[in-house]
Structure 1
């Protein structure tokens, strides 16, 4: 299938999406370091990005020139397993020699408003990013930009309150920041995403669609997330 306004690729399964994501990240890193001496990557939360991070933990790369940021974060203590930064550290960053001063977690434990203000200059000093990694929720949200929530047009980082999934308080990069990137990867996996993908294909103004169109995005879907490709029957 093809989503309007963005490049789209359908892969066999979640594992194939993770493998292709890891490959594209490594290729983008090599190109950015060769061209500009640094690679600036925005990380996403969720199971499929974590699968890609596990593959990166086994890879060889010029880690000393990687600079890592987060697209969003939950307002939880820094050591909470529900934090995006903690999950990325556990499966990947604790296992490779990226300098810790080049890993930039969102200080969401300060609260949504204070953390947004603190992260704004960090993002301002990093854009344009070389690559932004995003996922999509079953409601069509991406990062912590949810349907029906006002998206601040000016700031690069915004506080999020009353999120429809816990925790209610979060911090998110805005489209103004996410779209200031040389390339964007949007990962969509699982049968639970079919309805949102169908809405996206029909032109519904979901947050993920708005961001992807403005971000030079490649959308990687697995087969079961694609409405026109139902799951294969279990013959076992």
Structure 2
């Protein structure tokens, strides 16, 4: 496995560390290692590990690898950064993907897997998930992806940033389905670590914009500690 820390970049008040990988598999393996290391550290410090999952094909591959690992699963607490307002068993639900790829195969207690109830609709589902997050301490690790338009979670370009609650409804998303629920920018930033997983040439324009200072939604996630970007299939300029 080859990993290179290309550089640390600061744009729009966000510090980002860009890690290059030579293959998709090496990125996946490194992501798994990073997640397990974060889990061990959090469990040692807090007695629990709070992770926020991303949807998409790259995270799915990571989750499939995690399903084969040994960990202190009883201490893990699972959240999702967003989900689509579709039936629970719909193939496009992020929660279903994570369960099928990983969560159904390990011994995380069911009451510690917190799916977004997006089947209730974006308004009621967001209210319910805000209640789920009420009193939850700072997350340990947030996983995020990057859309071709620069979106992350369901924070989309040219849409007002809603920080009125920990989970907020999304209307008129530019990619279907239009109604979604996302954890808010402020709550996503209330975490100890963030790892973006960015793969594929289709993300090149978004990466170029990000690195050149365009205020795409991915730049809204700006921890004091910075964020890490694991990337494959795009080039840095």
**TM-score band (shorter)?**
over 0.9
C-alpha separation in 2, matches of 1:112 and 1:8: 34
C-alpha separation in 1, matches of 2:215 and 2:134: 27
TM-fit CA distance, 1:12: 1.1
C-alpha separation in 2, matches of 1:216 and 1:116: 27
The answer to whether the aligner puts 1:138 opposite 2:148 as a matched pair is yes
C-alpha separation in 1, matches of 2:19 and 2:152: 18
CA contact (8 A) 1:184 1:212 kept: no
Instruction: List aligned pairs for 1:135-214, cutoff 5 A.
Output: 135-212=145-222
The answer to whether the aligner puts 1:53 opposite 2:84 as a matched pair is no
TM-score by length of 1: 0.93
C-alpha separation in 2, matches of 1:131 and 1:51: 18
The answer to whether the aligner puts 1:225 opposite 2:234 as a matched pair is yes
For these two proteins, the number of residue pairs brought into alignment is 227
By percentage of residues, which structure has more strand?
2
CA contact (8 A) 1:180 1:215 kept: no
Deviations 1:158-187 (CA, angstroms, capped at 9, x unpaired):
100110101000000111110000001011
Gaps of 5+ in 2: 1-5
User: Tell me, what secondary structure is at the counterpart of 2:139?
Assistant: coil
TM-fit CA distance, 1:13: 2.4
Instruction: List aligned pairs for 1:7-86, cutoff 5 A.
Output: 7-86=17-96
C-alpha separation in 2, matches of 1:97 and 1:140: 35
Measured at CA, do residues 59 and 128 of structure 1 come closer, stay the same or move farther in structure 2, by a change above 3 Å? same
C-alpha separation in 1, matches of 2:114 and 2:174: 26
Gaps of 5+ in 1: 229-236
User: Tell me, what secondary structure is at the counterpart of 1:125?
Assistant: coil
TM-fit CA distance, 1:49: 0.6
TM-score by length of 2: 0.92
Deviations 1:52-104 (CA, angstroms, capped at 9, x unpaired):
10110000000000000000000000011110000000010110010000000
